């Protein structure tokens, strides 16, 4: 009996040592990843950005962390926070725009919103231009029973009320492609072909698309082919792991180095912004890892 107890004690001790070793290794990996956030030197083929809303970090702290990694831009910053970017010598490659009476679900596809959208966007175009930034996000709105053809017609009419002003101010309005399957039910600009058709209808180099890789993988897949075929209409890219919108590592189905290579080969000179929601506790280590994955040679 005494021997049996000793054997059990030894098994418990070995198991405890193994668990401790695993925990130490995990901690070491996280520390290493965090150090890379400071020391990793970017190769320069991809212009990187990161979306502010994904991180439970004050914007000022996110700017400092991003700058250490080598990221020059924070995406989706509202004009009221431009001063924080300026203080940290950062830019926003995509200005946020979500008014109290419009947004993802209420956009340019509804003529009832056009008067207020014209007023709102002229103001935001002014703020964007004044700060020296160039891209301002916009949305189609939900279908609410509307046909794709009618949506394009309505969006065109609404956008043409502000696109001339954007051209004068050297600001590009960028409509985001979002999935209507998981995250944004009934959203109209949910396929690349629809967004491209709208670009052609508006007919201005100052209206383009934000190709969100996460959203378009969910809606249509064939990501690299769509990027190659329609890159002239794309002003900006967002990332995210599929499924779940978490880290873009080996836990998800997209292979981001190949996607980044395809983007680079189109001659793209804009920004690719990380827009995944970190599942790991060390959010900055996750961000640093994502930048390294996308920083192709």
Task: Give per-residue pLDDT as tens, 78-121.
Answer: 999 999 999 999 999 999 997 667 899 999 999 999 999 999 99
Orientation of helix 223-230 relative to helix 192-202, angle to 10°? 10
Note whether residue 10 is domain-resident: no
Encode pLDDT of 123-146 as tens digits.
999 999 999 999 999 999 999 999
- Residue 236 parent element (H or E): strand 234-238
pLDDT at 1 over 50: no
Averaged pLDDT for residues 179-187: 98
Closest CA to 74 of 89, 99, 94: 94
* In a domain? residue 184: yes
Q: Which domain holds residue 48?
A: 43-294
pLDDT, position 41: 82
Residue 13: inside a domain, yes or no?
Answer: no
> Which token pair is 137?
């996000």
Residue-averaged pLDDT of the chain: 89
In this structure, what CATH number is given to the domain that contains residue 175? 3.20.20.150
Nearest Cα neighbor of 178 from 264, 114, 240, 268 is 240
Q: How many domains does the chain have?
A: 1
pLDDT for position 158: 98
Q: Is the pLDDT of residue 3 over 70?
A: no
- Mean pLDDT, range 160-185, rounded to an integer: 98
Q: Tell me, yes or no, whether 58 lies in a domain.
A: yes
Note whether residue 29 is domain-resident: no
Answer yes or no: is 20 within a domain: no
Indicate whether 7 belongs to any domain.
no
Least confident interval from 24-38, 103-117, 213-227: 24-38
Q: What is the pTM of this model?
A: 0.87
Q: Tens digit of pLDDT for each residue in 223-277?
A: 999 999 999 999 999 999 999 999 999 999 999 999 999 999 999 999 999 999 9
Question: What per-residue confidence (pLDDT) applies to 267?
Answer: 98
Instruction: Give the least confident one: 33-37, 165-169, 179-183.
Output: 33-37
- Residue 38 within a domain: no
Under 8 Å between Cβ of 247 and 241: yes
Q: Note whether 77 and 85 are within 8 A (CB).
A: yes
At residue 8, the pLDDT reads 43
């Amino acid at each position: 009996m005494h021997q049996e107890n000793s054997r059990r004690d030894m098994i418990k001790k070995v198991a405890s040592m193994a668990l401790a070793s695993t925990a130490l290794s995990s901690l070491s990996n996280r520390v290493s990843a965090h150090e890379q956030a400071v020391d990793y030197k970017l190769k320069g083929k991809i212009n990187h950005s990161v979306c502010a809303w994904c991180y439970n970090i004050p914007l000022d702290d996110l700017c400092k962390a991003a700058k250490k990694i080598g990221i020059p831009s924070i995406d989706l910053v509202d004009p009221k926070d431009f001063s924080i970017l300026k203080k940290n010598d950062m830019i926003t490659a995509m200005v946020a725009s979500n008014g109290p009476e419009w947004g993802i679900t209420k956009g340019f596809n509804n003529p009832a919103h056009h008067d207020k959208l014209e007023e709102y966007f002229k103001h935001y175009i002014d703020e964007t231009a004044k700060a020296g930034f160039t891209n301002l996000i916009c949305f189609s709105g939900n279908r609410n029973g509307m046909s794709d053809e009618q949506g394009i017609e309505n969006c065109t009419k609404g956008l043409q009320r502000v696109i001339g002003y954007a051209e004068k101010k050297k600001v590009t309005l960028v409509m985001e492609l979002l999935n209507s399957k998981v995250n944004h039910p009934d959203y109209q600009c949910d396929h690349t072909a629809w967004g491209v058709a709208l670009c052609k209808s508006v007919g201005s180099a100052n209206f383009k698309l934000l190709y969100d890789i996460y959203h378009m993988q969910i809606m249509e897949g064939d990501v690299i082919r769509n990027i190659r075929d329609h890159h002239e209409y794309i002003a900006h890219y967002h990332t995210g792991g599929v499924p779940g919108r978490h880290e873009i590592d080996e836990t998800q189905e997209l292979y981001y180095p190949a996607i980044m290579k395809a983007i680079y080969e189109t001659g793209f000179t804009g920004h690719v912004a990380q827009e995944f929601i970190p599942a790991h506790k060390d959010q900055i280590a996750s961000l640093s890892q994502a930048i390294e994955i996308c920083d192709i040679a």
